[in-house]
Amino acid sequence: MTEGQKVLRHPALWIPIALATAACLGIAIKRSNDARAPSRDAHPFVELHAPRVDHAIAIDAEMDGKKVWESEAGSTGVFKDSRGIGMVPYTEAKVRWGERMLYFWLYAGDLDLEGSVTDPDGPIDLDDSFHIELAPDDRVYTIEVSVLGTLADAVCTGTLGAAASERHCDAHWQSGASVAVDRDGTLNRVGDNDEEWIVEMAIPLSSLGMEKAGAGSRIPFAIRRCDVGARGPGACGSFGMGEPRGEIVLDPTSVDGVQLAGAPGRR
Protein backbone atom coordinates (compact mmCIF):
# COMPACT_ATOMS: atom_id res chain seq x y z
CA MET A 1 0.00 0.00 0.00
CA THR A 2 2.18 2.73 -1.28
CA GLU A 3 -0.22 5.46 -0.26
CA GLY A 4 -1.30 3.90 3.00
CA GLN A 5 -1.34 5.62 6.33
CA LYS A 6 -0.29 3.75 9.44
CA VAL A 7 -1.09 4.31 13.07
CA LEU A 8 0.22 2.26 15.97
CA ARG A 9 -1.30 1.92 19.41
CA HIS A 10 0.54 0.10 22.18
CA PRO A 11 -0.46 -0.18 25.86
CA ALA A 12 2.48 1.84 27.03
CA LEU A 13 1.17 4.85 25.16
CA TRP A 14 -2.13 5.16 26.94
CA ILE A 15 -2.59 2.60 29.74
CA PRO A 16 -0.03 1.66 33.37
CA ILE A 17 -8.05 -11.85 11.56
CA ALA A 18 -11.45 -17.34 2.79
CA LEU A 19 -12.31 -20.01 5.45
CA ALA A 20 -9.74 -22.58 6.54
CA THR A 21 -10.30 -25.76 4.57
CA ALA A 22 -11.58 -28.90 6.23
CA ALA A 23 -8.47 -30.76 5.14
CA CYS A 24 -6.18 -28.18 6.66
CA LEU A 25 -7.34 -26.40 9.77
CA GLY A 26 -11.00 -26.39 8.89
CA ILE A 27 -14.20 -25.20 10.45
CA ALA A 28 -16.51 -27.81 11.96
CA ILE A 29 -19.97 -27.59 13.47
CA LYS A 30 -20.28 -29.10 16.92
CA ARG A 31 -22.26 -28.74 20.10
CA SER A 32 -20.99 -27.43 23.37
CA ASN A 33 -21.58 -29.07 26.73
CA ASP A 34 -19.02 -27.29 28.88
CA ALA A 35 -20.93 -26.35 32.01
CA ARG A 36 -18.03 -24.28 33.28
CA ALA A 37 -18.58 -21.59 30.67
CA PRO A 38 -22.17 -20.29 30.61
CA SER A 39 -21.43 -18.24 27.49
CA ARG A 40 -20.96 -21.56 25.65
CA ASP A 41 -24.56 -22.75 25.68
CA ALA A 42 -26.31 -25.67 23.97
CA HIS A 43 -26.43 -23.93 20.59
CA PRO A 44 -24.22 -25.16 17.74
CA PHE A 45 -20.94 -23.36 17.32
CA VAL A 46 -18.46 -23.09 14.47
CA GLU A 47 -14.80 -23.75 15.20
CA LEU A 48 -12.14 -21.42 13.91
CA HIS A 49 -8.79 -23.25 14.18
CA ALA A 50 -6.09 -20.69 14.82
CA PRO A 51 -2.57 -21.89 13.94
CA ARG A 52 0.34 -21.34 16.28
CA VAL A 53 3.17 -18.93 15.61
CA ASP A 54 6.70 -19.78 16.68
CA HIS A 55 7.77 -16.19 17.18
CA ALA A 56 6.06 -13.04 18.35
CA ILE A 57 4.38 -11.07 15.55
CA ALA A 58 5.54 -7.49 15.22
CA ILE A 59 2.43 -5.33 15.48
CA ASP A 60 3.21 -2.67 12.90
CA ALA A 61 0.63 -3.21 10.07
CA GLU A 62 3.54 -3.73 7.66
CA MET A 63 1.94 -6.52 5.58
CA ASP A 64 4.32 -6.72 2.64
CA GLY A 65 6.28 -9.95 3.02
CA LYS A 66 4.73 -10.82 6.40
CA LYS A 67 4.15 -14.53 5.69
CA VAL A 68 2.51 -15.25 9.04
CA TRP A 69 -0.77 -13.86 7.63
CA GLU A 70 -0.54 -15.38 4.13
CA SER A 71 -2.21 -18.71 4.93
CA GLU A 72 -6.02 -18.88 4.86
CA ALA A 73 -5.88 -21.04 7.99
CA GLY A 74 -7.62 -19.39 10.90
CA SER A 75 -9.77 -17.22 8.62
CA THR A 76 -13.42 -16.38 9.12
CA GLY A 77 -13.84 -15.96 5.37
CA VAL A 78 -16.01 -13.09 4.29
CA PHE A 79 -18.33 -11.86 7.04
CA LYS A 80 -22.02 -12.70 6.48
CA ASP A 81 -24.89 -10.23 6.65
CA SER A 82 -28.26 -10.86 8.30
CA ARG A 83 -29.39 -12.85 5.22
CA GLY A 84 -26.34 -15.12 5.34
CA ILE A 85 -24.84 -13.45 2.26
CA GLY A 86 -21.26 -12.28 2.07
CA MET A 87 -20.86 -8.73 3.29
CA VAL A 88 -20.13 -5.96 0.80
CA PRO A 89 -17.66 -4.37 1.13
CA TYR A 90 -15.45 -7.42 1.69
CA THR A 91 -14.57 -7.98 5.35
CA GLU A 92 -12.54 -10.79 6.89
CA ALA A 93 -10.58 -11.70 10.03
CA LYS A 94 -7.71 -14.09 10.71
CA VAL A 95 -6.48 -15.39 14.06
CA ARG A 96 -3.11 -16.69 15.26
CA TRP A 97 -1.77 -17.54 18.72
CA GLY A 98 1.57 -18.00 20.44
CA GLU A 99 4.01 -16.28 22.75
CA ARG A 100 1.16 -15.92 25.28
CA MET A 101 -0.71 -13.74 22.78
CA LEU A 102 -3.86 -13.94 20.66
CA TYR A 103 -3.21 -12.22 17.32
CA PHE A 104 -5.76 -10.73 14.91
CA TRP A 105 -5.56 -9.55 11.28
CA LEU A 106 -8.70 -7.60 10.37
CA TYR A 107 -9.41 -6.60 6.76
CA ALA A 108 -12.04 -4.00 5.80
CA GLY A 109 -12.76 -3.03 2.22
CA ASP A 110 -14.00 0.54 2.41
CA LEU A 111 -14.82 3.27 -0.12
CA ASP A 112 -15.22 5.96 2.54
CA LEU A 113 -13.01 5.84 5.61
CA GLU A 114 -14.72 7.59 8.51
CA GLY A 115 -13.22 8.11 11.94
CA SER A 116 -13.05 10.86 14.53
CA VAL A 117 -13.12 9.26 18.02
CA THR A 118 -9.66 9.35 19.55
CA ASP A 119 -10.45 8.90 23.26
CA PRO A 120 -9.95 5.34 24.56
CA ASP A 121 -13.30 3.74 25.54
CA GLY A 122 -15.13 6.41 23.56
CA PRO A 123 -18.13 5.78 21.22
CA ILE A 124 -16.03 3.93 18.64
CA ASP A 125 -19.09 2.34 17.02
CA LEU A 126 -19.79 5.75 15.47
CA ASP A 127 -16.61 5.30 13.40
CA ASP A 128 -15.48 2.58 11.00
CA SER A 129 -14.56 -0.15 13.45
CA PHE A 130 -14.54 -3.84 14.38
CA HIS A 131 -16.31 -5.24 17.45
CA ILE A 132 -14.75 -8.41 18.94
CA GLU A 133 -16.19 -10.61 21.69
CA LEU A 134 -14.25 -13.28 23.59
CA ALA A 135 -15.88 -15.40 26.30
CA PRO A 136 -13.47 -17.95 27.83
CA ASP A 137 -15.39 -18.03 31.12
CA ASP A 138 -18.70 -16.75 32.45
CA ARG A 139 -17.90 -13.23 31.28
CA VAL A 140 -17.72 -11.66 27.82
CA TYR A 141 -14.70 -9.52 27.01
CA THR A 142 -15.48 -6.95 24.32
CA ILE A 143 -12.83 -5.14 22.30
CA GLU A 144 -13.60 -2.51 19.67
CA VAL A 145 -10.90 -1.10 17.41
CA SER A 146 -11.43 1.70 14.93
CA VAL A 147 -9.92 2.86 11.68
CA LEU A 148 -7.93 5.31 13.78
CA GLY A 149 -6.56 2.54 16.01
CA THR A 150 -8.61 3.76 18.95
CA LEU A 151 -9.59 1.03 21.41
CA ALA A 152 -12.66 0.56 23.59
CA ASP A 153 -12.64 -2.51 25.81
CA ALA A 154 -14.89 -3.78 28.58
CA VAL A 155 -15.85 -6.92 30.47
CA CYS A 156 -19.56 -7.74 30.41
CA THR A 157 -22.16 -10.04 31.88
CA GLY A 158 -24.45 -12.03 29.59
CA THR A 159 -23.75 -14.28 26.62
CA LEU A 160 -21.74 -14.08 23.41
CA GLY A 161 -23.48 -11.88 20.84
CA ALA A 162 -26.14 -10.65 23.24
CA ALA A 163 -27.71 -7.23 22.80
CA ALA A 164 -26.23 -4.37 24.77
CA SER A 165 -29.52 -4.03 26.66
CA GLU A 166 -29.04 -7.56 28.03
CA ARG A 167 -25.64 -6.81 29.54
CA HIS A 168 -23.88 -4.86 32.19
CA CYS A 169 -20.37 -3.84 31.12
CA ASP A 170 -17.41 -2.53 33.09
CA ALA A 171 -15.15 -0.31 30.99
CA HIS A 172 -12.48 -0.29 33.69
CA TRP A 173 -11.16 -3.61 32.33
CA GLN A 174 -8.20 -3.12 30.01
CA SER A 175 -7.29 -5.69 27.32
CA GLY A 176 -3.67 -4.56 27.13
CA ALA A 177 -3.94 -4.90 23.33
CA SER A 178 -1.31 -3.56 20.96
CA VAL A 179 -2.77 -2.21 17.70
CA ALA A 180 -1.52 -0.97 14.35
CA VAL A 181 -3.66 0.19 11.40
CA ASP A 182 -2.78 0.56 7.72
CA ARG A 183 -5.20 2.83 5.84
CA ASP A 184 -5.45 3.12 2.06
CA GLY A 185 -7.44 6.31 1.64
CA THR A 186 -8.17 9.66 3.20
CA LEU A 187 -10.23 9.97 6.34
CA ASN A 188 -13.58 11.75 6.36
CA ARG A 189 -13.54 12.76 2.70
CA VAL A 190 -16.20 11.42 0.30
CA GLY A 191 -15.33 10.63 -3.32
CA ASP A 192 -11.55 10.35 -3.04
CA ASN A 193 -11.25 6.65 -3.99
CA ASP A 194 -10.65 5.13 -0.57
CA GLU A 195 -10.00 1.39 -0.79
CA GLU A 196 -9.39 -0.45 2.49
CA TRP A 197 -7.96 -0.50 5.97
CA ILE A 198 -6.25 -3.32 7.87
CA VAL A 199 -5.83 -3.81 11.61
CA GLU A 200 -3.10 -5.89 13.19
CA MET A 201 -3.60 -6.56 16.89
CA ALA A 202 -2.16 -8.61 19.75
CA ILE A 203 -4.12 -9.36 22.93
CA PRO A 204 -2.36 -10.88 25.95
CA LEU A 205 -4.09 -14.15 26.87
CA SER A 206 -3.49 -13.23 30.50
CA SER A 207 -5.92 -10.31 30.19
CA LEU A 208 -8.61 -12.91 29.38
CA GLY A 209 -7.70 -14.99 32.42
CA MET A 210 -5.99 -17.56 30.16
CA GLU A 211 -2.41 -17.52 31.42
CA LYS A 212 -2.22 -21.31 31.06
CA ALA A 213 -3.87 -21.52 27.64
CA GLY A 214 -2.24 -23.88 25.15
CA ALA A 215 -2.95 -26.16 22.20
CA GLY A 216 -6.57 -27.31 22.34
CA SER A 217 -7.81 -24.42 24.45
CA ARG A 218 -11.12 -22.96 23.27
CA ILE A 219 -12.36 -19.40 23.32
CA PRO A 220 -15.96 -18.60 22.36
CA PHE A 221 -15.61 -15.81 19.81
CA ALA A 222 -17.66 -13.44 17.71
CA ILE A 223 -16.81 -10.44 15.56
CA ARG A 224 -18.77 -7.91 13.53
CA ARG A 225 -18.29 -4.80 11.45
CA CYS A 226 -20.66 -2.13 10.17
CA ASP A 227 -19.37 -0.01 7.31
CA VAL A 228 -19.79 3.61 8.36
CA GLY A 229 -20.19 6.34 5.78
CA ALA A 230 -20.58 10.08 5.97
CA ARG A 231 -24.35 9.57 6.37
CA GLY A 232 -24.02 6.97 9.12
CA PRO A 233 -23.91 3.15 9.39
CA GLY A 234 -24.26 1.12 6.20
CA ALA A 235 -23.80 -2.59 5.49
CA CYS A 236 -23.07 -4.86 8.45
CA GLY A 237 -21.58 -8.35 8.62
CA SER A 238 -20.33 -10.74 11.27
CA PHE A 239 -18.89 -14.11 12.18
CA GLY A 240 -20.14 -16.10 15.17
CA MET A 241 -22.63 -13.52 16.38
CA GLY A 242 -25.79 -15.52 15.71
CA GLU A 243 -26.29 -19.19 14.89
CA PRO A 244 -23.93 -20.89 14.87
CA ARG A 245 -21.85 -19.18 17.49
CA GLY A 246 -18.12 -18.91 16.93
CA GLU A 247 -15.27 -20.47 18.85
CA ILE A 248 -11.51 -20.12 18.44
CA VAL A 249 -9.56 -23.35 18.91
CA LEU A 250 -5.85 -22.91 19.59
CA ASP A 251 -4.43 -25.40 17.09
CA PRO A 252 -1.02 -27.01 17.73
CA THR A 253 -0.09 -26.80 14.02
CA SER A 254 2.47 -24.09 13.41
CA VAL A 255 1.55 -21.55 10.75
CA ASP A 256 5.02 -22.27 9.36
CA GLY A 257 3.81 -25.79 8.54
CA VAL A 258 0.66 -24.64 6.72
CA GLN A 259 0.68 -24.37 2.94
CA LEU A 260 0.34 -20.75 1.98
CA ALA A 261 -2.78 -19.88 0.02
CA GLY A 262 -2.66 -16.31 -1.13
CA ALA A 263 -1.42 -13.21 0.57
CA PRO A 264 -3.63 -10.72 2.34
CA GLY A 265 -4.16 -7.53 0.44
CA ARG A 266 -6.59 -5.68 -1.75
CA ARG A 267 -9.90 -7.39 -2.55
Three-state SS string across the chain, please? CCCCEEEEECHHHHCCCCCCCCCCCCCCEEECCCCCCCCCCCCEEEEEEEEECCCCCCCCCCCCCCHHHCCCCCECCCCECCCCCECCCCEEEEEEEECCEEEEEEEEECCCCCCCCCCCCCCHHHCCEEEEEECCCCCEEEEEEECCCCEEEEEECCCCCCCHHHCCEECCCCCCCEEEEEEECCCCCCCCCCCEEEEEEEEEHHHHCCCCCCCCCEEEEEEEEEEEECCEEEEEEEECCCCCEEEEEEEEEEHHHCCCCCCCCCC
Q: Which residues pair with 141 in a beta bridge?
A: 134, 155
pLDDT band at 94; cut points 50, 70, 90: very high
Question: What pLDDT does residue 68 have?
Answer: 95
**Please, is 242 exposed, middle or buried when counting C-beta atoms within 10 Å of its C-beta (0-12, 13-18, 19+)?**
middle
Q: Which of 215, 218, 136 is nearest to 175 (CA)?
A: 136
Are the beta carbons of 86 and 19 closer than 8 angstroms?
no
Percent of the chain with pLDDT over 90: 67
End-to-end Cα spacing for the chain:
13
Q: Which residues pair with 204 in a beta bridge?
A: 101
Average pLDDT, stretch 99-103? 96
Distance CA 146, CA 150 (A): 5
Assigned architecture for domain 5-257: Sandwich (2.60)
Q: Is the pLDDT of residue 20 over 80?
A: no
Peptide bond connecting 89 to the previous residue in cis, omega within 30 degrees of 0 = yes
**Please, is 28 exposed, middle or buried when counting C-beta atoms within 10 Å of its C-beta (0-12, 13-18, 19+)?**
exposed
Distance CA 101, CA 25 (A): 19
More confident residue, 126 or 43: 126
| Lowest pLDDT segment from 89-93, 99-103, 253-257 | 253-257
Q: Which of 226, 223, 246 is nearest to 236 (CA)?
A: 226
Average pLDDT, stretch 3-29? 48
Average pLDDT, stretch 239-266? 74
Question: What pLDDT does residue 217 have?
Answer: 97
Specify the pairing of strand 169-170 against strand 44-52: unpaired
Question: What pLDDT does residue 122 have?
Answer: 96
Q: What is the pLDDT of residues 161-215, one digit of tens each?
A: 888 889 999 999 999 999 999 999 889 888 777 899 999 999 999 999 999 999 9
Distance CA 69, CA 71 (A): 6
Question: What pLDDT does residue 45 have?
Answer: 79
Mean pLDDT of the chain: 84
On the CB side of 175, CA atoms within 13 Å amount to 29
pLDDT band at 123; cut points 50, 70, 90: very high
Distance CA 186, CA 189 (A): 6
More confident residue, 191 or 243: 243
Question: What pLDDT does residue 30 have?
Answer: 41
Domain boundaries, the chain: 5-257
Question: What pLDDT does residue 8 have?
Answer: 76
Average pLDDT, stretch 262-267? 39
Average pLDDT, stretch 228-247? 86
Q: What is the pLDDT of residues 42-54, one digit of tens each?
A: 456 799 999 999 9
Question: What pLDDT does residue 222 have?
Answer: 97
pLDDT band at 251; cut points 50, 70, 90: very high
Q: Is the pLDDT of residue 24 over 90?
A: no
Average pLDDT, stretch 222-230? 91
